[in-house]
Chains A and B, each alone.
Chain A
């Protein structure tokens, strides 16, 4: 039977060895990514969100190295395997990058070439991974650009990325990420560089496409508002550790870990006017958030790192 989780991350440890010493970027990270749902990873800057995503994609670069753990990947199209255990030249790495998992980053231009027309770039993404004719790829590219809401496609498909607004570029990147119908889509702060109104459009787009295509999404952000709007499940990270896991309502409405409580208390919209915002430090107070207590299950799928 196929597992309900598309990804199962166990005891993942990552360290960076640099001139100034060793950084333990991830320590004993454990969480599942349920199939066909949106899982948000939330945490402050430096908490290890992007490093986790890079491990799943096997994109971690030296001086970073995975020192412990496993990432069990259960795609529906191929056999399950441990992403950490397979070798550099294992063909499954090619499958991984070749359409099983896609990634959308904060800055759309990192994924787009400035010198090729938008339509060709999307078609190229199809041709790279699938054995179809050039014409067929172009037709599909057209269709995908329509689905991500690019207006006036016949003209736009001939244009270069610099002729697009930031929001339009990010739509193109999402189109490229989706043409191979990935089983997992990882979005690492895909809207941070965008305006609120454009951000709202992109979030709606991702949510609508997810409902239509029912792929599994990992959504990385430090914005609790975005988490509330897009996620089904939430993983809270702090200093390379997972502190709390649950459904979006459980974590945001009934946080168990003092750090999560602090994170929520620091949002201006959650605090009456003229009341001082609590910083995480003040909200956490004397509570111990640095001792790495192992996650314990306090309900079905509800885990928290408390003594």
Chain B
């Protein structure tokens, strides 16, 4: 394979198990000659284990391969050679360690330390070796009178230079730096980083650079592997990965770096929110109105192609109702059935075809219908109307909608006005605050709720920079889980208004969420296809949340009229 010539390393399916513990799981990557590959991840994520398996300082599990493009023999399989056969190749691969204090033998002089690899590989006579050591001292900018001194006489940065000189004296091609600059303060760190970069240019070195300081990695690496629990969770061009992290874990790491700019506030994400959502149903147009029922499982509607479906734990989907298109919101009703919103708000009892009208189209408002709804603990329904909706592209002047409450006696009233594009609704745990998404304005409103169900004037609770807020659900701890339409996931907002985490799904159009499953610990996330005809990228995902959702809202509103279906 001729295009392999510019590669120096090919790693395939590398794993390492210590006793029962899997420290490294199925890692594969290519490394180009003269590149610098960063390996990042928190403590225990497997960075050192990966480095040691590559260099065969430890033996990886069977099945994984490491191929190395050596000067001496061309491509060789490091993972299958016997230890004796590896010895000559070791000259081409070296490691520089983290701790400048414990990695140097305190009883050896600097000359002995730097010279030792030559002695081990039986290279040159004493005079030639001394000459090489002197060259190395110049290279790492240590004075020649260091030769006869012992490590304790050097500062941390100087000791790290001694370690580098020792690693480079055999003219390696591949150098693994395991946290080489982590223990040093910025001034010394800068000297060592510059030195490594200079040496790379003059000696055409390839580096694998293990570090937990992402700013350092970004500075000196071209590519990066992000490791978590022994798995490479993300990799690629370092700038791209850091600017567009796809995985929650990468985001978590990036959010944890304290910025040296006091105006850029550190907002570490919640580390419990790490697992990826799992797809449970797909092939729908625009999925909306998710609602959990202990018997039916998760119910959801397809706004574009119509119908209400349920999906159970085994991912089996059943139709619940044949229904027209355009159901935007659903909630359980105490009498057994679903309150659905669309052109109007109505109650559909399970097993019946008739609908019972709860709230008709509001003629004064010229609205095209209603969207998300929720209930308070008393059982009143809160539902927003779509003015003239930009979503349906109906050619009308965009016109604001209202927020209505349907009281227990079936009478309704407007409780808030001027909602540009009404979406998710949810109450705080004590029921005294109502959160409400306005997708057009990219804002979530916060209303204080009066005893009779009226709302005090709203305030803006959170504003989105990317995408818009869509459906939302509130957890027991008061956190607000909001589908972030356009941004491809769910934002977790704390009651203080700050975003604490983000859960990605594989499609950009995330439309709504609800809690369900045992203990309401599963977050169901639904998605849509941007309304493009025939596009069926809408689906349902589930995700094990670190908190339980609030109890599923149940409407107790008295129906006032009958509608034929």
Q: List residues of chain A with CB under 8 Å of any chain B CB.
A: 44-45, 195-201, 203-204, 222-231, 248-249, 252-253, 262-264, 266-271, 273, 276-281
Hey, which chain A residues are within 8 Å of B257, CB to CB? 196, 200, 225, 269
Pick the 10 closest A-B CB pairs, nearest first.
Answer: A225-B258, A200-B268, A269-B215, A200-B256, A268-B219, A277-B190, A266-B190, A280-B187, A222-B185, A228-B262
A281: chain B residues at CB < 8 Å are: 187
| A-binding residues in B (CB < 8 A) | 42-43, 155-156, 185-191, 193-194, 197, 212-216, 218-220, 239, 252-253, 255-266, 268, 271
Is B193 a contact partner of A229 (Cβ separation < 8 A)? no
Q: Which of B219, B258, B264 interacts with A226 by CB under 8 Å?
A: B258
Q: How far is the CB of A19 from chain B (nearest CB, A)?
A: 14
Given the contacts A197-B256, A197-B271, A269-B215, A252 and B262 also touching, CB distance less than 8 Å: yes
Interchain CB contact under 8 A, B260 and A200: no
> Besides the contacts A45-B185, A225-B257, A277-B194, what 17 more A-B pairs have beta carbons closer than 8 Å?
A44-B185, A44-B186, A197-B253, A198-B42, A200-B268, A223-B258, A225-B215, A228-B264, A231-B262, A252-B260, A252-B262, A266-B190, A268-B215, A269-B218, A269-B257, A270-B260, A276-B197
Q: Assess whether A201 is in contact with B268, with CB atoms less than 8 Å apart.
A: yes
Question: Among the listed A197, A228, A264, A271, which residue makes an inter-chain contact with B219, where contact means beta carbons less than 8 Å apart?
Answer: A271
Flag if A263 contacts B42 (CB, 8 Å). Answer: no
Residues of chain A within 8 A of B212, CB atoms compared: 195-196
Interface centre among A201, A224, A231, A277 (most CB of B within 10 A): A277
Q: A195 contacts which chain B residues (CB < 8 A)?
A: 42-43, 212
A248 CA to B214 CA, complexed, in Å:
23
Partner of A277, one of B193, B214, B262, B268: B193
Q: Do B261 and A228 have beta carbons less than 8 Å apart? A: yes
With contacts A197-B252, A197-B268, A279-B194 taken as known, whether A266 is within 8 angstroms of B258 at the C-beta atoms is: no
B155, B186, B239: the one contacting A267 at CB < 8 Å is B186
Q: In the complex, A44→B187 CA distance in Å?
A: 7
Closest to B222 in A: A273
Q: Which residues of A contact B216 (CB under 8 A)?
A: 268
A229 lies within 8 A of B258 (CB): yes
Q: Are B194 and A276 in contact (CB under 8 A)?
A: yes
Question: Are A266 and B266 interface neighbours, CB within 8 A?
Answer: no
Verify B260–A204 contact, CB threshold 8 A.
Answer: no
Is the Cβ of B191 less than 8 Å from the Cβ of A279? yes
A-B pair count, CB < 8 Å, reads: 118
Q: Which residue of B lies closest to A191 (CB)?
A: B258
Shortest B191–chain A CB gap in Å is 5
Contacts of B266 in A (CB 8 A): 200, 203-204, 229
* A271 to B191 alpha-carbon distance, docked (Å): 14
DSSP class of A's interface residues: helix, strand, loop or mixed?
Answer: helix
A200 engages B186 (CB within 8 Å): no
A99 to B338, CA, bound (A): 61
Q: Which residue of A lies closest to B40 (CB)?
A: A196
B169 to chain A, nearest CB (A): 24
Q: Judging by beta carbons under 8 Å apart, are B260 and A197 in contact?
A: no
Q: Which residue of A lies closest to B183 (CB)?
A: A192
Q: A201's closest neighbor in chain B, by CB?
A: B268
Contacts of B271 in A (CB 8 A): 197, 201
A203 / chain B contacts, CB cutoff of 8 Å: 258, 266
Q: What residues of B have a CB within 8 angstroms of the CB of A222 in the complex?
A: 185-186
Q: How far, in angstroms, from A278 to B193 measured CA to CA in the complex? A: 10
- 18 A-B contacts (beta carbon < 8 Å): A44-B186, A45-B185, A196-B42, A199-B256, A200-B256, A200-B257, A201-B268, A204-B268, A228-B260, A252-B260, A266-B187, A269-B218, A269-B259, A269-B260, A273-B218, A276-B197, A279-B190, A281-B187
Contacts of A267 in B (CB 8 A): 186, 215, 260
By CB atoms of chain A within 10 A, which of B43, B156, B213 has the most? B43
> A residues within 8 A CB of B265?
229
**Distance to closest chain A CB from B323 (angstroms):** 44
Say how far A124's CB is from chain B's closest CB, in angstroms.
30
Contacts of A253 in B (CB 8 A): 261-262
**Which residues on the B side are within 8 Å of A204 (C-beta)?**
266, 268
A262 closest partner in B (C-beta)? B187
Residue from A196, A224, A263, A277 whose CB has the most chain B CB atoms within 10 Å: A196
Establish whether residues A266 and B43, one from each chain, have CB atoms under 8 Å apart when the complex forms: no
Q: Which residues of B contact A273 (CB under 8 A)?
A: 218-219, 239
Please indicate the chain A residues that have their CB under 8 angstroms from the CB of B191 in the complex. 279
How far, in Å, is B326 (CB) from chain A's closest CB?
44
Chain B residues with CB under 8 A of A278: 190
Report the Cα distance A266→B42, complex, angstroms: 24
State the CA gap A224–B185 with chains docked (Å). Answer: 10
Partner among B187, B239, B261 whose Cβ is within 8 Å of the Cβ of A263? B187
**CA of A276 to CA of B257, assembled, Å:** 21
- Chain B residues, Cβ within 8 Å of A248: 262
- Contact check, B261 vs A266: say whether CB atoms are below 8 A apart: no
B260: contacting residue among A196, A225, A230, A279, CB under 8 A: A225
